[in-house]
Amino acid sequence: MDADDVLAAKRAEFVLDGAPPLAPPEAHAVAPPRTPRPVYLDGNSLGALPRTVPGRLHEVVTREWGRLRIRSWSESGWWTAPERVGDRIAPLVGAGPGRVVVGDSTSVNVFKAVVAAVRIAQQDAPGRDELLVDAATFPTDGYIAASAARLTGCTLRPVPAPELREAIGPRTAVVLVNHVDYRTGRLHDLPGTTATAHQRGARVVWDLCHSAGALPVELDAHEVDFAVGCTYKYLNGGPGAPAFLYVREELRSRFDSPLPGWNSHAEPFAMAADYVPADGAARGRVGTPDILSLLALEEALTVWDGVELAEVRAKSLALSDFFLRCVAAYVPAGRVESLTPGAHGERGSQVTLRCAGAGEVMEALIAREVVGDFRQPDALRFGLTPLYTSFADVAHAARVLGEVVA
């Protein structure tokens, strides 16, 4: 399978060698087996380092900041980086140019998007005052949505994702959904939920943290209103790299941000007392962009050159199918249960296994250089990142899991 992998060459573009392994915890003080390298299956949490990033970042720091200093805002293209990097992400989420801007955290972008979406929904139909959120959302989305609801006079209603479409009613202003559930890896129905919301007069905000770079996302084609996502998972931008915000073309002039910082002004250097928002993607900016992280991300995105998302998706599904087969073969029956849907159409790019003592099991896996992560109370998460995960990696991971559990 690795020999037939059309993305196999991409693996060499990442740093995948490891640091010395952790000292094994007392309970598992057995010498770990020799493996060719750590098997890193946590790219759904923090993507691996693309090889060209350290060199580029060194240049940014020593030449652009160190020697050019303030001149770099224009000469090194710092000022326009949020839109430029946004345009690099755009094709990965099915967006045309000028619709994606990079900056701030996902949480802050959820706030911008939800408040702005409520404002648009209420302009169109003043009585709408309900905000729906999928009940199993990544927590920050729910917390931020609650704050947005409080500040805009709305009520927040959590609804299990499969029931969301039916729950959209005449009072619904906005629906906020995670495209892929961070815990189970379940892929939610973006086209259907968006269409139903629009039929019923509501707006949608999609959180793409666990889908951007993992599978095709067709934001323009499905007329999504707003979307946000992080860049440090499948996009490999580095720890805490700035997030992105997508605004639908038709809503661009109606996007009324609750965080209208000076970077989103039509003429930021006029330093005017009155706020006039910029026309394009820059309207989603707030304060001065975080240049070191932003330019590291820009360099990291070059690994996507020439990559087709259909190939990424095909490999992702093949990897998760194969991993589940290996788990069935190597792990004693009844010891783990997949929380990730079997149907391809409902699967993101991770596999989550329920397992008794999952916290200790993950510690033992990491001590044996198989790196996934543990989520409360009983979940083992394994991220499958098609640009650098091999079929041999997942077979090895399943084999070690079987040994640990046994």
Binding-site residue ranges for pyridoxal 5'-phosphate: 106-107, 138-141, 207, 210, 232, 262, 288
Nearest-approach distance from CB 353 to a second copy, in angstroms: 17
User: If binding is defined by CB under 8 A, does position 135 make contact with a second copy?
Assistant: yes
Per CB under 8 A, 122 contacts a second copy: no
Min dist. Cβ of residue 266 to a second copy (A): 12
Looking at the Cβ atoms of 289 and 348, the one nearer to a second copy is 289
Residue 232: active-site member: yes
Q: Residue 261: CB partners within 8 Å, gap ≥ 6? A: 285, 286, 287
Nearer to a second copy, 105 or 338 (CB): 105
Binding a second copy (rule: CB under 8 A), the pick from 270, 310, 328, 329 is 270
For the range 260-268, what are the long-range contacts, defined as Cβ-Cβ under 8 Å and sequence gap of 24 or more?
Answer: 260/286, 261/285, 261/286, 261/287, 262/287, 263/82, 263/103, 263/287, 263/288, 263/289
213 binds a second copy (CB under 8 A): no
Task: Verify binding: residue 19, a second copy, rule CB under 8 A.
Answer: yes
Is 147 among the residues that bind a second copy (CB under 8 A)? Answer: yes
Catalytic residue among 232, 244, 255, 330: 232
Applying CB under 8 A, among 9, 12, 29, 273 the residue interacting with a second copy is 273
Q: Counting contacts by CB under 8 A, is residue 294 touching a second copy?
A: yes
Residue 105 interacting with a second copy (CB under 8 A): yes
Residue 288 touches a second copy, criterion: CB under 8 A: yes
Q: 138, 182, 244, 374: which one is catalytic?
A: 138
List C-alpha distances in Å: 374 to 6, 12, 141: 31, 28, 20
Give the residue, chosen from 86, 213, 242, 386, that forms a contact with a second copy under the rule CB under 8 A. Answer: 242
Q: How many residues does the chain have?
A: 406
SS3 76: coil
Distances, alpha carbon 273 to alpha carbons 237, 270, 277, 285, in Å: 36, 9, 13, 18
Choices 3-11, 147-155, 185-193, 215-223 (CB under 8 A): range interacting with a second copy:
147-155
Least CB distance to a second copy at residue 129 (A)? 15
Q: Does 310 bind a second copy (CB under 8 A)?
A: no
Annotated active-site residue 374? The verdict is: no
Report in angstroms how near the CB of residue 393 gets to a second copy at its nearest: 14
Beta strand pairing call for 350-355 and 379-383? antiparallel
Question: Which segment (54-62, 90-98, 191-199, 337-345) binds a second copy by CB under 8 A?
Answer: 54-62
| Bond into 260 cis (ω within 30) | no
Beta-ladder partners of 40 = 371
Binding positions for a second copy, 370-389, rule CB under 8 A: 371, 373, 375-376
51 in catalytic set: no
Single out the catalytic residue among 134, 207, 225, 290.
207
* Ramachandran quadrant class, 167 (left: phi over 0; alpha: psi -120 to 50; beta: rest): alpha
Eight-state DSSP code of residue 223: T
- Interface positions, 313-352, toward a second copy (CB under 8 A): none
Q: Does 183 bind a second copy (CB under 8 A)?
A: yes
Separation of alpha carbons 351 and 379, rounded Å: 10
Q: Candidates 45-53, 173-181, 305-313, 391-399 — which segment interacts with a second copy by CB under 8 A?
A: 45-53
Here the tokens at position 170 are 């005449």
The distance of closest approach from Cβ of residue 150 to a second copy in the complex, given in angstroms and rounded to an integer, is 8
Strand extents, DSSP E, 296-359: 336-338, 350-355
Yes or no: say if 228 and 218 are a contact pair by the CB < 8 Å rule: no
The first and second tokens of residue 160, run together, are: 């299990």
Q: How many residues of this chain interact with a second copy, rule: CB under 8 A?
A: 87
Q: Which residue has the tokens 């020999």?
A: 3
Residues with Cβ within 8 Å of residue 1, at least 6 apart in sequence = 318, 322, 391
Task: Please pick, from the candidates 11, 39, 45, 174, the single residue that binds a second copy as defined by CB under 8 A.
Answer: 45
User: Is residue 240 involved in binding a second copy (CB under 8 A)?
Assistant: yes
Least CB distance from residue 261 to a second copy, whole Å?
3
Residue 364 lies near a second copy (rule: CB under 8 A): no
Closest to 79 (Cα-Cα) out of 262, 205, 248, 254: 262
Q: Could you tell me how far CA 18 lies from the centroid of its own chain? A: 24
Nearest approach in angstroms of CB 229 to a second copy is 12
What is the set of active-site residues?
A: 138, 207, 232-233, 381
